[in-house]
Structure 1
Amino acid sequence: MTAEVQLRSTLVCPHCGHQATETMPTDACLYFYDCLGCGQTLKPKYGDCCVFCSYADVPCPPIQVDGKACCG
């Protein structure tokens, strides 16, 4: 039995600590995200496919399903 894919994830800005819960896209990687707290543009860390995999509590849907990035 496989776990259900979670589509909501909470991003935490590494610059100011602001948290925002967002809905993740299922058909594309979100490469840029503008922090709602400080305005900094977040980009994935080296080796990650998207900002959710780098800065959120739940990785993106493709990683959840089979461990592969959707855009890598």
Structure 2
Amino acid sequence: MLKDIQLQSVLTCPNCGHHKEETMPTDSCQYFYECEKCHTNLKPLAGDCCVFCSYGTVKCPPIQQGSSCCS
């Protein structure tokens, strides 16, 4: 089922605008991410389950599959 799921997403820091392609985990949500340029610790925005849903170009695998998200 993961064959149709995109695992690469570009995260963009809202503080400095730095962006980097990262591989999303398939077995858990990533709640925190540290920007490698300005070292801001990113957390999901209200209503989002993970940093990829808030700051990424591609939503996390559970959202792509139509589930409510990581539990």
TM-score, length-normalised on structure 1? 0.91
Sequence identity, in percent?
58
Unaligned ranges ≥5, structure 1: none
Paired position in structure 1 for 2:29: 29
Paired position in structure 2 for 1:9: 9
Alignment partners' CA distance in 2, 1:18 and 1:63: 24
Alignment partners' CA distance in 1, 2:5 and 2:36: 25
One-letter code of the match for 1:10? V
> After alignment, is 54-63 or 3-12 more displaced?
3-12
Paired position in structure 1 for 2:63: 63
Unaligned ranges ≥5, structure 2: none
TM-score, length-normalised on structure 2? 0.92
Paired position in structure 1 for 2:45: 45
The runs of at least 4 aligned residues of structure 1 exceeding 3 Å deviation read: none
Alignment partners' CA distance in 2, 1:66 and 1:24: 16
Q: CA deviation at 1:67?
A: 3.9
Indicate the RMSD between aligned Cα atoms, in angstroms.
Answer: 1.2
- SS of the counterpart of 2:15? coil
The count of residues paired between Structure 1 and Structure 2 equals 69
Alignment partners' CA distance in 2, 1:52 and 1:26: 12
